[in-house]
Amino acid sequence: MKPKTINILYWVFTILFAALMIFSAYGSILVNQDAKNLIHHYLGFPVYFIPFTGYAKLIGSIVILIPGLKTIKEWAYAGLFFDLLGAVYASIAVAKGFDPMMSFMLVWFVPGILSYYFWKRKMKAGFKP
């Protein structure tokens, strides 16, 4: 694959993943009723935890969009994936099995994995971090 193609794919998947994570962070930062219903009432996390996860997702999303920041970007990807894994695991634990409502969250892993994959390919191709 050509370096230019790798770079384009990296940015497509990174922007998509960051947009999805920022979209999910919005309600948490505002601690709106939808966030309370899902995170507090359904999943059982304390209300004070809601804005923390929202700000963490927002910061992680911004970091993966900024060129450079190699080590911090690794941490941001890890944090965003832990957030997604935690949401899926908590949903399965609460529902005592696989919850079709939260299965849609599994789709969010795809652009994240592809963003990370093409970021690594981009670094090997000689692009600056």
Average pLDDT of the chain is 91
Specify if 129 maps to a domain: no
Specify if 67 maps to a domain: yes
pTM value > 0.95: no
Domain extent, residue 36, equals 3-124
pLDDT of residue 87: 87
pLDDT of residue 30: 94
Specify if 96 maps to a domain: yes
Q: Please state the rounded mean pLDDT for residues 40-51.
A: 92
pLDDT of residue 102: 66
* Sequence-ordered list of residues with C-beta below 8 angstroms from that of 125, at least 6 positions apart, any chain: 3, 6, 7
Q: Please state the rounded mean pLDDT for residues 54-62.
A: 97
- pLDDT tier for residue 128 given thresholds of 50, 70 and 90: low
Query: SS3 sequence, the chain?
Result: CCHHHHHHHHHHHHHHHHHHHHHHHHHHHHCCHHHHHHHHHHCCCCCCHHHHHHHHHHHHHHHHHCCCCHHHHHHHHHHHHHHHHHHHHHHHHHHCCCCHHHHHHHHHHHHHHHHHHHHHHHHHCCCCC
Specify if 47 maps to a domain: yes
How many domains would you assign to the chain? 1
